Structure 1
Amino acid sequence: MNEHQEVETLIKNQLEQQDHTEWTGYWKEIRDSYGDYLPDSSNTSIWDVMFSFDEGIWGWVQGLIAYSMVQVTDHLHLIFWLVLLLLLSSFIHVIEQSFNSSQVASVSPLILMGLVLITITSSVQLMLEVIFESLQTTASFLNGLLPLYIASITLSGGPATSAASFPILLAMVYVITFLMKSVIIPLFIFSIFFDQLNCLSDRYSMGKVAALCRQAGLWILGVTAVTSVSILSIQTSAAAAADGVAAKSVKTLAGTMLPFVGKVVSDTADLVMTSSMLAKNMIGAAGGFILILIVLFPAIKMLVIAIMYRLAAVMMEPVAGSRLTEAVDAASKGMFHLAAALLLTSCIFFISIIVVMFISNIPIMIR
């Protein structure tokens, strides 16, 4: 226990000597925005939270559940409004059959469909605002984290690893953010739009086009994730092996060419690099943790809205018109894809940070 406290103190002292305000400020923003749903440990610094995370993991789970319930309450009006519209469509359908009025039968479904489309459009617009804000915050956070993170890798004995990983990580941030804003999200929006057109008209079927847009968006996102993480892993692994061999050679030369102090010098260098490695790992873990929180709360909000639409479609399918239920269900499908795209983007960045963190430990193991 005392040894653990000594290591913790050593890491904190080394971290406090560095300036982390460029990216730890996002932790303060998270506390200000979602402090009511975070455990008591959230009132401390990010380092204290990381060291005591295992002890308060149930508090984090409870906070996420509480936030989900609050979002359900805030958006409960959606399901009531959708159910009301679907009930009206069912009621009008009964009147149409009773009076056999073809004119009413042709006009009233279009009016109700228009109201449903207005509701869907407002929800999709809200989701787009949440997604673009989250992507912008994620990119800004990574631009603040990566320079210091790469510098800590260099101090821990990985200059080649940092030189290989830094440009790849920066390219990933800009390329993935650009693809999300310009290609992937518009494809999912087009899929929702074509699904609604498919529900409006019996003459022109747009279901295949909507499915193609969804599949194209998922394929682009998946290929981007696999390609970027693979390139990062291969490049950094080779560079980390070179760092390890170089450090091992320097240690051996120092021990043999300096007869009296060579051993002391090499052991001291190992101690300094090991403590730097622990501090570097803490920076990577804290950065990944904040990155997940930046996206997690907005994603929960989006998932709650999508679930509301899905529940409305499931509840009213037996009694409402097939077109309206299909429109609501198709909208929920597109909303789930939007939320999944945001979460997957965050996971790509998180995995990249963790991969670099573990690979940069290779030089220490080789030494």
Structure 2
Amino acid sequence: MNQHQEVETLIKTQLEKQDHSAWTSYWTELNNSYGEYLPASHDNSIWDVIFSFDEGIWGWVQGLISYTMVQVHDHLHLIFWLILLLLLSSFIQVIEQSFSDHKVAAVSPLILMGLVLITITSSVQLFLEVIFDSLHSTASFLNGLLPLYIASITLSGGPATSAASFPIMLAMVYVITYLMKSVIVPLFIFSIFFDQLNCLSDRYSMGKVAALCRQTGLWILGVTAVVSVSILSIQTSAAAAADGVAAKSVKTLAGTMLPFVGKVVSDTADLVMTSSMLAKNMIGAAGGFILIFIVLFPAIKMLIIAIMYRLAAVIMEPVAGSRLTEAVDAASKGMFHLAAALLLTSCIFFISIIVVMFISNIPIMIR
């Protein structure tokens, strides 16, 4: 236990000597926004939270459950409003079937469809605001984290690893963020739009166009994830192996070429690099932790809204008009895709940080 505390103190001392304000400020922002759902996080630095995270996992789970319940309460009116509209459409259908003159009754479903479309549009607009804010925060956070993270890899004996990983990770941030904002999210929005048109019109079917938009967006996101993580893994693995061989060679030369003090110098260098490696791993773990929570809370909010739409469609399917039910269900499908795209984007960046963190440990193992 004492040894563990000594290692923890050594890592904290090394980390406190560096300026991490460019990215740890996002932890302060998370505390300000969601502090009541983050147990043991008030007045604690991100390092204290990471070191004690395994001691209070249930507290974090409870915090997420509490936030989910709050979001359910805040958006419960949505499902009641949708059910009310669907009930009205069912009631109007019954009245319409009871009279021989359908001219007046035929206008009412169009009014209800308009109200449903207005509700869907407002929810989609909220989704766009949440997604773009999350993408902006994620990109800004990574722009602050990556330079210091890559510098810590260099100090831990991985100059080739840092040189190979930094441009790839930086390119990933800009390319994936650009694709999300300009291609993937618009495709999912178009899929929702075409699904609504398909529900409005019996003459023109747009369902296949909506499905094509969804599939294209998913394919682009999936291919981007596989290609970017694969390139990063291959490039950094080769560079890490080169760093390990170079470090082993330097250590051997120092031990043999410098009489009397060679072993002391090599052992001291090993100690410094090992402590730097621990600090580097801590930066990577803290960065991945903050990155997940930057996106997790907005994603939960989006998923709750999408679930409300799906539940309304499921509950009212037996009694409501098919058009309105299909419109609400199609909207929920597109909303689920938008939330999944945001989560997958965060997972790509998280996996990239963790991959580089583990691969950059290869030189220590070789040495």
TM over 0.5: yes
1:101 and 1:337 map into 2 onto residues whose CA distance is: 42
Change (3 A) 1:82 1:124: same
1:100 and 1:173 map into 2 onto residues whose CA distance is: 62
- The one-letter amino acid paired with 2:18 is Q
- The one-letter amino acid paired with 2:171 is A
- Residue of structure 2 in register with 1:179 after alignment: 179
1:121-200 matched pairs, under 5 angstroms: 121-200=121-200
1:100-139 matched pairs, under 5 angstroms: 100-139=100-139
2:159 and 2:150 map into 1 onto residues whose CA distance is: 9
Would you say the 8 A contact 1:42–1:49 is kept in 2?
Answer: no
1:105 and 1:213 map into 2 onto residues whose CA distance is: 35
SS in 2 for 1:212: helix
1:1-367 matched pairs, under 5 angstroms: 1-367=1-367
Q: Deviations over 1:169-201 (max 9, x none)?
A: 000000000000000000000000000000001
SS in 1 for 2:205: coil
Give 1:106 shift: 2.6
- The one-letter amino acid paired with 2:293 is L
Give 1:42 shift: 4.2
1:185 and 1:284 map into 2 onto residues whose CA distance is: 28
Identity of aligned residues (%): 90
2:311 and 2:276 map into 1 onto residues whose CA distance is: 51
1:215 and 1:100 map into 2 onto residues whose CA distance is: 44
2:165 and 2:270 map into 1 onto residues whose CA distance is: 23
Give 1:43 shift: 3.2
Q: Deviations over 1:84-112 (max 9, x none)?
A: 00000000000001113321343111111
1:100 and 1:161 map into 2 onto residues whose CA distance is: 78
- The one-letter amino acid paired with 1:211 is A
1:52 and 1:200 map into 2 onto residues whose CA distance is: 55
Give 1:317 shift: 0.5
SS in 2 for 1:40: coil
TM-score, normalised with respect to structure 2: 0.99
Q: Deviations over 1:285-343 (max 9, x none)?
A: 00000000000000000000000000000010010000000000000000000000000
SS in 2 for 1:287: helix
SS in 2 for 1:102: coil
Would you say the 8 A contact 1:248–1:366 is kept in 2?
Answer: yes
Structure 1: gaps (5+ residues): none
- The one-letter amino acid paired with 2:87 is L
1:315 and 1:36 map into 2 onto residues whose CA distance is: 33
SS in 2 for 1:100: coil
Would you say the 8 A contact 1:31–1:43 is kept in 2?
Answer: no
TM-score, normalised with respect to structure 1: 0.99
RMSD (Å) for aligned C-alpha atoms: 0.6
Q: How many residues align?
A: 367
Q: Deviations over 1:111-154 (max 9, x none)?
A: 11000000000000001000000000000000000000000000
Would you say the 8 A contact 2:184–2:220 is kept in 1?
Answer: yes
SS in 1 for 2:204: coil
